[in-house]
Structure formats: C-alpha cells, structure tokens
C-alpha cells in the first residue's frame, strides 16, 4: 500500500486505499483507511472517478484536492492506480464537511485479464460516492457506450432490497436505486470536435443528452444500443458533462504531474477549474436511503460491510447495509449518550444535594443533553429498541447517583453528629448523668445537639434518617439513665418514657412521609423523562418524514422528467412503462403525508419505551 501526506497538519491530507490483493484477487480494505475514515465525525462528500486505464483520472482528482500531485499519475501505458485510492481533504468553503476523493483502478486493463474486478470496482464507486465522475477519451459514440457496459451490470452487483426477486428487472426497479445512487458527471478528455448539433452550437450537457437518445425498434441491435443509455437515464437522473482539451503536447504528458499551470494549455486549465468549481458547488454529502447523512465513521462501516459481502461471494444490498449500519450506530449512540450523561453529571453534581429534587433537576438537564446526543446519531430505530435501552441505562445511572447521594449524606450527617455529641459521649462514659436529676440534664443535652444539628447546612437528603438512627442508638442509654434517676417518681418516669416514644414515632412518621414524597418525585421524574423521550421521538420522526418526502419527491421528479422526455421523443411504450413506478411513488407520498400514518407510528413507539404506564402518557 502507498500513502502520501503532502501537507502539514493544519490542512492534513490523508492518502490511503483499499484494493484487490495481487495474490488471490480478493478485495481487501487497508485498516489504515478504516481508521482514517472512522476518525472523521463530519458529513463526508464522496467524489469517485471511474474510467478506462491511462485516461488521466488521477490528474482530475489531484486538481479537486487542490494539488498537482498526490494520486499516482503514471507515465507509461501500464495502469498505475491499483484498487481504490482514497484522499481526505477539507471541503473548500465548507469547514463542517470533509471531501473524500476516490481514485479507482483503471477499467479494461489487459494485464489483469479479469473483468470481474472491474465490475466490482465500478459497483463500489457507485455505492460509496455522492458524485460519480466517468472519465473517457474522445467523443461519446457507440464505442464509448460499449466501454460503459458496467452500468448495465449494476443490478447484478448491487441490490436495493433484500427480498427475493426485488431487483429482478433493472429498469423497473430503477426508482429504488435513484434513492442512493450518486449524481453523474461524464468527463470527456482530449475532445477535438466542435460542439454542434444539427449545425447549431450546443452546450456540453446538450451534447450528452443527445448521445443518450434512444432508438426505436424491437431488433436486438436496437436493444443493445438502448440498454446502456436507458440505464444511465434511469439510474442517474442528475447528469452533467464536461469536455477537456489536451492539456499539453504528447511528448510532455509523461511529466504532467510536475508541470506548472502556466506550462499547460490555457483552455485546459480553465476547463479543469470550471470542472472543480462545479463539483465543489453541486456535490452533496453522501446519504443512505431515508436521507440520513453519512459521516466518515459511517462510510468506514459501509466500506467494510460491502467488501466483506463481496469477499464472501455475495452481492452488496443497500437495505441490509443500512440495517447493519443502524445496529452499529445505534449501539454506539447509546454508549455515547450515556457517556455524555455521566460526564455532565460528574461536572454539575455536588454530593450530597440538599434535596432529592435538586439532584433530579440536574439529572433532567443532563438527560436532556444525552437525548440530544442520541437522537443526533441514531437512525432507523423503528421499534425504539435502542432509545428504550438508553432510557433504561440513564434511569439506572440516576438511581446509582441517588444511592451515592444518600451514602454521601449519611456519611456527612454521621460525622456531624459524632462531632456534636462529643461532650455527651464524654459525660455518658464518666457517669455524669448517673445521679438525681441526671435524666433532665441528659434530655437537655440531646435537645441542644438536635438544635445545633438542624442549624447546620449541607447535610443532604439523609439528615432526618441519620438523626433518627442517632436517637435509636441512644435509646438504651436514655432509658437506663431515666430508670436510675431517683429524683423522678415512677409516674414521671412513665410520662418521660411515653414522651420519648411519641417523639420517636413522630420522627419515624416524618421519615415515612419523606420517603413517600421522594417516591412521588421519582415517579414524576419518570413521567417527565418519558414525555421528553416521546417529544424528542416525535420531533425526530417529523424530521425523518421530511427527509423521506424529499427523497420521494426527488425520485418522483426524476421519473416524471424522464417520462416527459420519452413522450417528446415519441417513445410512448417506454413512457407508459414508467407509469407504474410513478403511480406507486405518488401513493407512497400520499400515505406519508397523512397524519394518521405518523400518529400510528408514534403510538406504536410508546409501547416500546419503558416508564410510567400508558395512561399517564400524553398523546400527541
């Protein structure tokens, strides 16, 4: 594996790869690449370039990276790029995103002798990118289309659904692929023709669309002519074309990487600049079906999932990949959110708190931020399994803090009582109270300790329990002093004993009332927590619904646009075949827009979230 770092840490560029091994032609991912991607927590815009070997793909990727060198260009007839090379750079003008450039092994290299590798390289480039650049030489003619036969094999290399037969008909199922396929740019190198159609000047895009026109007829030759064009039109509804003059004369091409822009043809330099500006302006973060934005960390998981599937002889399935990705991310979201909760509690919580409500108030704020962390990362948690797991984990953490709070309070109260009762213990040990009138002195000393104890702050939630325990420990001593006090009559002793027992009972009742109040506070906190979870879930569902509708509308618009073009060109049969997809898309849109659809999901969601019984849950 080769790696090049061509800048300083300030704007570090990382260069690594995943490739087919030379020994057994198995696709392997370099761990360095996975580690690099896993460290990127920003959304990634992934631009991949594919095309025949020795057609200058690496040069364009170097220009997108803002450098003259980085991806190996090569200067012979042998293909230089092996597998897929990756370069991660800051996105120009968008500091909150990372640009991931994928330079692929040249297709059609005669030295490989195995077209299967080319097909998998092409399929991976499609699966991983948000913008796909197809690089070719000369013009878009039938030969160029024949070389792009990989696009007709995509449904053999990529499945959108896991159900059997879901992808049996490529063109009929194209709507599912549009949801996650990249935008398409055709880069024509060394273009020497005049841009004209029917004797009039035309744009590059008009040239591409004209090249993608279908032929009429039912002959095999017509079918072979139309197939790659139909696939491009249906799989890649967002298309763009760029033409490039030759950058320099043939004898200098081998040192293109070392040449300054001033040494290159001015027209080529301007065309390359226009190309880069378009990619920067129009490329969007990579998304997966459902509109969830992919970060570097998610992209690493996708790469590993796809490559493992290919190595095992399977076909990458987007639906399965998303589900596997959701499991990984949602589990990690629970861990991250729980960690954030603990971090905040450790920062904000000073034990012991004066009241349970003080602790619950801090808990509520920390839980709220933890929920935000979870919701920002989790996706496709349709049964709220992971959200329920988070709620349970946070509730357990809260109970642990409550227990720790009680222990700290008990410890502090115990230390305070030991300090305040030092003189009392000294007098007991020296039989100071074993005399006539001693019980009254003992009672007064206990009362004085109680007054001072109540005056001290910072005792925490166990203040009354600790005091009750203190008095309980003194019961036998007090009764012994009372019974031995000769200054008191039996009746007075009975009255004193009754008063002591009444005071003990009152303290016990007060502690019981406090426990009941604390239980109600915890129940109220659970109710608040449950309703907060439902509110966040509702908000997330609404956002997810918006993303799904946006995705649906994108697919629907592409199908309507393609149908319009087919009708204009007189392909009534082809246009009619699109009606089924268009009708299904419209029905899906209508269902998603209905309030009952959303409310039903929310009602189901509440059943999976632990907490207070449903009758106390607010319904939205």
* DSSP result, 541-609: HHHHHHHHHHHHHHHHHHHHHHHHHHHHTT-HHHHHHHHHHHHHHHHHHHHHH-HHHHHHHHHHHHHHS
Q: Which of 102-116, 179-193, 296-310 has the lowest mean pLDDT?
A: 102-116
DSSP 98: E
Q: Is the confidence at residue 20, as pLDDT, over 70?
A: no
**CA 505 to centroid of chain Cα atoms:** 57
Phi, psi of 462, rounded to the nearest 5 degrees: -100, 20
Give the range among 166-180, 421-435, 585-599 with minimum mean pLDDT. 166-180
pLDDT band at 618; cut points 50, 70, 90? very low
% of the chain residues with pLDDT over 70: 84
Q: Which residues pair with 189 in a beta bridge?
A: 137
Q: What is the mean pLDDT of residues 274-296?
A: 94
Residue 502 tokens, joined:
């009444």
Integer CA distances (angstroms), 566 to 142, 232, 571, in order: 20, 14, 5
pLDDT at 126: 94
Strand ranges, E, within 400-542: none
In the 8-state DSSP scheme, what is residue 317?
A: B
Q: What is the pLDDT of residue 533?
A: 92
Q: Compute and round to an integer the Cα radius of gyration of the chain.
A: 37
pLDDT in tens, 114-161: 567 888 889 999 999 999 999 998 899 888 888 888 888 888 889 888
- With beta carbons less than 8 A apart as the criterion, state whether 551 and 284 touch: no
CA distance 610 to 76: 65
Instruction: Compute the Cα dihedral for 342, 343, 348, 349 and give only its sign.
Output: positive
pLDDT score of 12 more than 50: no
Tally Cβ neighbours within 10 Å of residue 61: 25
Res 412 pLDDT > 50: yes
Check residue 261 and give its pLDDT: 72
pLDDT tens column, 475-515: 999 999 989 988 888 898 889 889 988 988 998 999 999 99
Q: Which pLDDT belongs to residue 549? A: 87
Longest dimension (CA), the chain: 130
* Cβ atoms of 401 and 349 closer than 8 Å: yes
Q: Which residues contact 577 (CB under 8 A, 6 or more apart)?
A: 171, 172
Q: E strand or H helix at 472, and its extent?
A: helix 463-473
pLDDT digits (tens, 9 = 90+) for 509-561: 999 999 999 999 999 999 999 999 999 998 998 888 888 888 888 888 888 88
| pLDDT at residue 295 tops 90 | yes
Rounded Cα distance, 392 and 613, in Å = 15
Give the burial class of 351: count Cβ atoms within 10 A of its Cβ; 0-12 exposed, 13-18 middle, 19 or more buried.
middle
Percentage with pLDDT > 90 across the chain: 50
Model confidence, pTM:
0.82
For residue 352, whether the previous peptide bond is cis, meaning omega lies within 30 degrees of 0, is yes
Cα 392 to chain centroid, rounded? 21
Q: Rounded to whole angstroms, how far apart are CA atoms 620 and 617? A: 9
Q: What confidence category does residue 387 fall into, taking pLDDT thresholds of 50, 70 and 90? A: very high
The residues that bridge with 99 in the sheet, in sequence order, are: 45, 89
In the numeric block, which tokens belong to residue 152? 């007709």
How many residues does this entry show for the chain?
A: 620
pLDDT tens digits along 228-275:
999 999 899 999 999 999 887 766 665 665 667 767 778 988 999 999
| Mean per-residue pLDDT over the chain, rounded | 84
Q: Burial code of 194-230, b = ≥16 C-beta within 10 A, e = fewer?
A: eeeeeeeeeebeebbbebbebeeeeeeeeeebbbbbb
User: Quick one: average pLDDT of 343-370?
Assistant: 96
Q: 44-292: what fold? A: Rossmann fold (3.40.50)
Closest to 310 measured CA to CA, from 117, 47, 170, 100 = 117
Q: How distant, in Å, are the alpha carbons of 119, 223, 229, 444 from that of 148? A: 10, 15, 10, 100
Contact 490, 498 (CB under 8 A): no
User: In this predicted structure, what is the pLDDT of residue 601?
Assistant: 52
Predicted local distance difference test score (pLDDT) of residue 583 = 87
Sign of CA dihedral 57, 59, 65, 71: positive
The 3-state secondary structure of 9-49 reads: HHHCCEEEEEEECCCCCCEEECHHHHHHHHCCCCEEEEEEE
pLDDT of residue 167: 47
Show the beta-strand stretches assigned E in 109-265. Answer: 131-137, 183-189, 196-197, 200-201, 239-243
Strands 27-29 and 98-104: unpaired
């Amino acid at each position: 594996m080769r790696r090049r770092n061509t800048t300083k840490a300030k704007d570090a560029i990382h260069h690594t790869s995943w490739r087919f091994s030379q020994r057994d032609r198995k696709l392997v991912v370099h761990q360095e690449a996975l580690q690099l991607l896993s460290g990127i927590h920003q959304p990634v815009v992934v631009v991949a370039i594919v095309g025949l070997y020795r057609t200058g793909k690496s040069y364009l990727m170097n220009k997108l990276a803002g450098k003259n060198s980085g991806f190996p260009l090569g200067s012979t007839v042998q293909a230089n790029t092996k597998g897929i090379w990756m370069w991660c750079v800051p996105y120009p003008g968008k500091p909150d995103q990372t640009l991931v450039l994928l330079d692929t092994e040249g297709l059609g290299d005669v030295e490989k002798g195995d077209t299967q590798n080319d097909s998998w390289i092409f399929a991976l480039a499609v699966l991983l990118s948000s913008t796909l650049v197809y690089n070719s030489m000369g013009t878009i003619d039938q030969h160029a289309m024949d070389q792009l036969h990989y696009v007709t094999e995509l449904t053999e290399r990529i499945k959108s659904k896991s159900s059997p037969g879901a992808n049996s008909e490529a063109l009929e199922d194209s709507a599912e692929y549009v949801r996650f396929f990249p935008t398409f740019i055709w880069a024509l190198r060394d273009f020497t023709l005049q841009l004209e159609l029917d004797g009039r000047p035309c744009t590059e895009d008009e040239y591409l669309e004209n090249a993608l026109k279908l032929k009429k007829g039912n002959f095999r030759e017509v079918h072979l002519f139309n197939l790659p064009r139909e696939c491009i039109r249906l799989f890649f509804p967002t298309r763009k074309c760029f033409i490039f003059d030759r950058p320099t004369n043939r004898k200098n091409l081998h040192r293109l990487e070392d040449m300054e822009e001033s040494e290159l043809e001015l027209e080529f330099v301007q065309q390359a600049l226009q190309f880069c500006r378009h990619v920067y302006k129009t490329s969007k973060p990579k998304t997966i079906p459902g509109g969830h934005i992919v970060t570097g960390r998610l992209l690493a998981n996708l790469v590993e999932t796809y490559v493992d599937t290919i190595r095992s002889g399977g076909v990458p399935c987007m639906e399965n990949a998303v589900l596997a990705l959701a499991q990984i991310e949602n589990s990690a979201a629970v861990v991250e959110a729980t960690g954030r909760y603990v971090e905040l509690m450790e920062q904000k919580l000073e034990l012991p708190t004066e009241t349970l409500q003080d602790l619950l108030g801090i808990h509520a704020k920390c839980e709220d931020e933890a929920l935000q962390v979870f919701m920002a990362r989790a996706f496709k948690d349709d049964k709220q399994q992971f959200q329920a797991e988070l709620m349970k984990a946070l509730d357990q953490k809260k109970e642990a803090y409550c227990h720790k709070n009680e222990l700290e309070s008990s410890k502090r109260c115990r230390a305070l009582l030991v300090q305040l009762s030092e003189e009392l213990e000294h007098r007991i040990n020296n039989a100071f109270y074993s005399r006539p009138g001693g019980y009254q002195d003992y009672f007064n000393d206990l009362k004085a300790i109680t007054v001072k104890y109540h005056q001290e702050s910072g005792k925490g939630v166990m203040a009354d329990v600790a005091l009750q325990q203190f008095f309980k420990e003194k019961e036998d001593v007090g009764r012994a002093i009372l019974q031995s006090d000769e200054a008191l009559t039996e009746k007075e002793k009975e009255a004193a004993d009754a008063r002591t027992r009444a005071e003990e009972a009152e303290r016990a009742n007060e502690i019981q009332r406090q426990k009941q109040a604390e239980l109600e506070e915890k129940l109220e906190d659970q109710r608040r927590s449950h309703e907060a979870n439902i509110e966040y879930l509702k908000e997330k569902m609404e956002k997810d619904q918006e993303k799904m509708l946006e995705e649906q509308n994108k697919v629907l618009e592409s199908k309507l646009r393609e149908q319009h073009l087919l009708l204009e060109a007189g392909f009534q049969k082809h246009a009619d075949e699109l009606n089924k997809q268009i009708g299904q898309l419209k029905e899906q849109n209508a269902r998603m827009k209905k309030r009952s659809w959303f409310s039903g999901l929310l009602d189901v969601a509440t059943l999976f979230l632990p907490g207070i019984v449903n009758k106390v849950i607010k319904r939205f």
